[in-house]
C-alpha cells in the first residue's frame, strides 16, 4: 500500500446519508490505499493519473518549481480575488491531486523523490524517454528502493525503437498512426481529430496498465515497467481499417462523417444544422424510409442491405437529404426516434456543457480551489455503484503540499528546506 491507507482521505469525498438522522458510512474509493507519483506534463500522464485519482488513489504530482507542468501557463485563465491567474485547463485536468515541488536535478530533490518512490505504489511519467533515467531515477534505480513499484512511462513513440528519441506530440502521433489519413472529407486538406485523441487514449491505456500491473503485483509480489506510446495507442483504434486492409489490401480514405463499411450511417443536412443517423439494419432502414416518407428508396432492390447501400452512398445520401434539408433538426430527430432509428443532432460544446440529460445525471460538478472557489468539472464516465468516483479539490497550487508530504515520508530538514527555498525562488 501507499503513504496512507487512503480510507480517511476518500471517505470525505464519498459522504452519504441514509434516512432522517441515520448516517451511512461511505465506502472508500475503488483505488483508495494506493499512492501514485506523477511526473507529468500537458496531457498523457496527467490524464492517466486523473483517472486513478478519480477512482480514489492518492496522486502526488511532482513538478520542478522552476519549470512546472506547462499546462499551468496554458490559457484561458481564471483570476482569483488577489489578481493571480490560474490555468483553467490545469484546474480541471489535475483535480484530486496534491502538488510537491522538487528540483530533481539537485541532490536534495533526488533524495526526497526517492523517499516518495520508496513508499509509493506506482509512478506515471511522460517525459522524453530516458529523461528520468539520466537523473538516476529510472526503473532500475527506483526498483532498488521499492521492488513493488509499477513504473509507467507514456511517450510519443515508445521507450525504444528508431523513433523513440523524437518529440512526440499528439498531432505527430495522429499523423503517423494513420488517423489523419482517414479524417476529414474526400479530397480535402489533412484534418486532425478535434480532441488530442492519441494523448487521451494513451492516458487511458496507461491508467488501465497501471491498475493491471498492480493487480499482478498483488498476485506475484513484484512491480514492473509499463511502456505506452501515443503512436501505438492511435494505431490500436484502427479496428475497421485493419479489418479491411489485412483482408483485402484496401487502404482506408477520408469519408467525412460516413461509416467505413455500412450506410446510411453519417450526418445529413437539415434546414438548421445536421443530424446523425444510423439505419443499417433491415428494421432501422425500413423505419428511416417510413419516417422520412421515402418508399421509393425502401423498395429499390439496389438498397437491399447495408453493404449495397454503402457502395451507392454517392446517390443514396443526396436522396435522403432531399427529405431532411427542408425540415428542422428537431423535426427530423422526432420522426426518426418515433420510428426507432438511432439518431442525434450535432451539438456544439455550448450546448453540451448545458445539456439537460447530463445535468439530470449529475455529470457536471464543482471542485473547490483554495483561491478560485468552485471550478466546474467534467464528470467521470466511470459510474461505480458502491465506490463512486471521487469529487475532491481542483488542480492544486504549485507546491502546495510540499512540506506536508515530505514530512510524512521522513525527509530531512535539509531536503525540506531546499525544496521550499527552490519553490520560493520560483514564485
Q: What is the pLDDT of residues 333-365, one digit of tens each?
A: 999 999 999 999 999 999 999 999 999 999 999
CA distance 152 to 213: 9
Q: What pLDDT shows up at residue 27?
A: 87
Q: What is the pLDDT of residues 363-390, one digit of tens each?
A: 999 999 999 999 999 999 999 999 999 9
User: Choosing from 160, 199, 220, 348, which is the catalytic residue?
Assistant: 199
pLDDT on residue 13: 45
pLDDT of residue 15: 41
In this prediction, residue 360 carries a pLDDT of 98
Quick one: pLDDT at residue 7? 38
The better pLDDT of the pair 12, 214 is held by 214
So what's the pLDDT on residue 5?
A: 44
Strands (E), 214-303: 225-229, 265-270, 273-278
Question: Environment class of residue 350 by beta-carbon count within 10 Å: exposed (0-12), middle (13-18) or buried (19+)?
Answer: exposed
pLDDT digits (tens, 9 = 90+) for 183-228: 999 999 999 999 999 999 999 999 999 999 999 999 999 999 999 9
Whether the Cβ atoms of residue 87 and residue 73 lie closer than 8 Å to each other: yes
Which range has the worst mean pLDDT, 122-126, 165-169, 211-215? 165-169
| pLDDT band (50, 70, 90) for residue 20 | very low
Instruction: Quote the cell numbers at residue 286.
Output: 425500413
pTM over 0.85: yes
Tell me the mean pLDDT in the region 233-260: 96
Contact present, 108 and 426 (Cβ < 8 Å): no
Q: What is the pLDDT of residue 427?
A: 81
330 Cβ contact partners less than 8 Å away, ≥ 6 residues apart: 345
Cell numbers for 339: 420510428
State the pairing for strand pair 122-125/35-39.
parallel
Specify whether 199 is catalytic: yes
Question: What is the residue-averaged pLDDT of the chain?
Answer: 94
**How large is the angle between the packed helices 107-118 and 413-426, nearest 10 degrees?**
120
Query: CA 157 to CA 233: how far, in whole Å?
Result: 10
Going by C-beta distance under 8 Å and a sequence separation of 6 or more, which residues neighbour residue 173? Answer: 156, 157, 198, 199, 202, 229, 230, 231, 233, 234
- The model's confidence at residue 2, banded by pLDDT at 50, 70 and 90, is low
Mean pLDDT of 139-167: 97
Q: Does pLDDT of 4 surpass 90?
A: no
pLDDT at 238: 97
CB 39, CB 45: distance < 8 Å: yes
CA distances from 426 to 64, 101, 174 (A): 9, 10, 35
- Residue that the C-alpha cell 506547462 belongs to: 70
pLDDT above 50: residue 251: yes
CB contact at 8 A, 12 and 132: no
Closest by Cα among 369, 380, 379 to 80: 369
Cell of 94: 489535475
Q: Where are the alpha helices (DSSP H) in 271-328?
A: 282-291, 295-299, 306-311, 313-324
Domains of the chain, earliest start first: 7-236+360-426 (3.40.50.10540), 265-346 (3.30.1540.10)
pLDDT at 21 over 80: no
Helix, strand or coil for residue 11? helix
Q: Would you place residue 11 in the very low, low, confident or very high pLDDT band (cuts 50, 70, 90)?
A: very low
Mean pLDDT of 244-255: 96
DSSP three-state, residue 412: coil
pLDDT of 136 > 90? The answer is yes
Least confident of 12-21, 151-160, 362-371: 12-21
| β-bridge partners, 77 | 87
Residue 26 confidence (pLDDT): 72
pLDDT at residue 14 tops 60: no
Bridge partners, residue 14, by sequence:
none
User: 309: how many CB neighbours lie within 10 A of its CB?
Assistant: 22
Amino acid at each position: 500500500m501507499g503513504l496512507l491507507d487512503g480510507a480517511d482521505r476518500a471517505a470525505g469525498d464519498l459522504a452519504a446519508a441514509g434516512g432522517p438522522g441515520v448516517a451511512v458510512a461511505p465506502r472508500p474509493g475503488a483505488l483508495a490505499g494506493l499512492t501514485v507519483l506523477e511526473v507529468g506534463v500537458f496531457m498523457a500522464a496527467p490524464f492517466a493519473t486523473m483517472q486513478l485519482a478519480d477512482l480514489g488513489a492518492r496522486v502526488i504530482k511532482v513538478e520542478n518549481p522552476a519549470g512546472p507542468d506547462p499546462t499551468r501557463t496554458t490559457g484561458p485563465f481564471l483570476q482569483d480575488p488577489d489578481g493571480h491567474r490560474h490555468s483553467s485547463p490545469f484546474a480541471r485536468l489535475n483535480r484530486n491531486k496534491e502538488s510537491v515541488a522538487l528540483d530533481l536535478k539537485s541532490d536534495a530533490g533526488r533524495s526526497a523523490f526517492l523517499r516518495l518512490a520508496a513508499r509509493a505504489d506506482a509512478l506515471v511519467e511522460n517525459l522524453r524517454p530516458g529523461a528520468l533515467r539520466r537523473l538516476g531515477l529510472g526503473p532500475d534505480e527506483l526498483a532498488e528502493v521499492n521492488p513493488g513499484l509499477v513504473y509507467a512511462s507514456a511517450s510519443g513513440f515508445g521507450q525504444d525503437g528508431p523513433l523513440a528519441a523524437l518529440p512526440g506530440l499528439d498531432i505527430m502521433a495522429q499523423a503517423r498512426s494513420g488517423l489523419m489519413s482517414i479524417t476529414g472529407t474526400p479530397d480535402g486538406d489533412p484534418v486532425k481529430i478535434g480532441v488530442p485523441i492519441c494523448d487521451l487514449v494513451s492516458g487511458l491505456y496507461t491508467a488501465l496498465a497501471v491498475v493491471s500491473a498492480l493487480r499482478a503485483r498483488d498476485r506475484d509480489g513484484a512491480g514492473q515497467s509499463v511502456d505506452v506510446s501515443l503512436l501505438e495507442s492511435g494505431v490500436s483504434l484502427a479496428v475497421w481499417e485493419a479489418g479491411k486492409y489485412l483482408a483485402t489490401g484496401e487502404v482506408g480514405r477520408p469519408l467525412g462523417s460516413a461509416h467505413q463499411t455500412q450506410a446510411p450511417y453519417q450526418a445529413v443536412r437539415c434546414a438548421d444544422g445536421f443530424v446523425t443517423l444510423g439505419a443499417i439494419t433491415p428494421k432501422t432502414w425500413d423505419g428511416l424510409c417510413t419516417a422520412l416518407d421515402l418508399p421509393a428508396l425502401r423498395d429499390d432492390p439496389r438498397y437491399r442491405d447495408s453493404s449495397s447501400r454503402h457502395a451507392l452512398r454517392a446517390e443514396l445520401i443526396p436522396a435522403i437529404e432531399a427529405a431532411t434539408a427542408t425540415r428542422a433538426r428537431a423535426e427530423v430527430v422526432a420522426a426518426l426516434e418515433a420510428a426507432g432509428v438511432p439518431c442525434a443532432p450535432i451539438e456544439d460544446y455550448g450546448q453540451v456543457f448545458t445539456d439537460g440529460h447530463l445535468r439530470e445525471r449529475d455529470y457536471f460538478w464543482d471542485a473547490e480551489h483554495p483561491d478560485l472557489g468552485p471550478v466546474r468539472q467534467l464528470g467521470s464516465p466511470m459510474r461505480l455503484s458502491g465506490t463512486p468516483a471521487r469529487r475532491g479539490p481542483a488542480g492544486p497550487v504549485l507546491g502546495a503540499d510540499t512540506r506536508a508530504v515530505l514530512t510524512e515520508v521522513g525527509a530531512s530538514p535539509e531536503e525540506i528546506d531546499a525544496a521550499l527555498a527552490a519553490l520560493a525562488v520560483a514564485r
